[in-house]
Amino acid sequence: MASRRRPATAITALTCGAALLASSFGTAAAAAAGRDGGEGDLAGKTAQQVNDTALHALAGATSLRLRTSATADPGRIDLTLDRAGNCTGTISKGSYGHVDLVKRGKNVWMRPDTAFWKTQVPGKEGDAAARRYHGRYLHGTTADSFLRSLATACNLTAFQKSATAPTSPPRPGHPAPHLTKGKATVQEGTRVLPVIKKTDGVIQTLYVTISGKHYPRKLTAEANHQTGTVLLSNYDKPVPFKPPPRGKTVDISVLENLLQGAQGAEAV
């Protein structure tokens, strides 16, 4: 997030990284099924079949918790969201600050931290805003362009479409991606089966729940000594909602006016 641009530009860009990582697990060449190593009813399936089963389950989810991280980017997302566009959680951009986000229907609340105010509104105005609005939520609706842009992070349907879209055909001279099954393991207390894809120097791993519905629980991509991770959980559970108290809420126009004032000062 740079001080001269709207905060949502950098914040919502983080969701693209999650979608791109997830979308890398579309259809590819199938590998033979491995031995039963605690794989449950996935033991008789090929790696491709496990992959497809997991993505089908993801596409049918009505809600989930999405967490993203990357070693090359300080940005983080931790959101619980549903198909209705409701969400709650946090979006962070490292030293540039973070916001707590709540969206219910068309209503959006965001609570910036001190670093956010100081990086978005330069000079004394940013320092003053950080003190004045410390701990307060900015409230408005998706009719406001800034909040509408920020709320794109709450679009579960868009994430699902991106995650389950078929991958592009391999480039000429490049072999088709090949999927293999890894050894069953445990991810945050849940037994999962890894499905591994290696292509063009990138190692991508999809961890699929073994028991019950075979949801994706974790996705990783490794390349050039860097790693991106998407964690998925809380499938089909309602998005918690508790509207911020009125005494802790101010209108979004507060931020809009400060940003316009800062831009006007820079133009002089």
| pLDDT exceeds 80 at position 27 | no
Paired with 109 in beta bridges are: 102, 139
Paired with 77 in beta bridges are: 68, 91
Average pLDDT over residues 9-16: 38
- How far, in Å, CA of 157 to CA of 257, rounded? 33
Please write the tens of the pLDDT for every residue from 134-181.
Answer: 999 999 999 998 899 999 999 999 999 998 887 666 667 666 678 999
Residue 3 pLDDT: 39
Residue carrying the six token digits 């068309």: 106
> Looking at domain 44-162+178-266, which CATH architecture does it have?
Clam (2.50)
Share of the chain above pLDDT 70, in %: 79
pTM for this entry: 0.82
Residue 77 pLDDT: 95
- How far, in Å, CA of 97 to CA of 118, rounded? 9
- How far, in Å, CA of 51 to CA of 202, rounded? 17
- How far, in Å, CA of 23 to CA of 165, rounded? 6
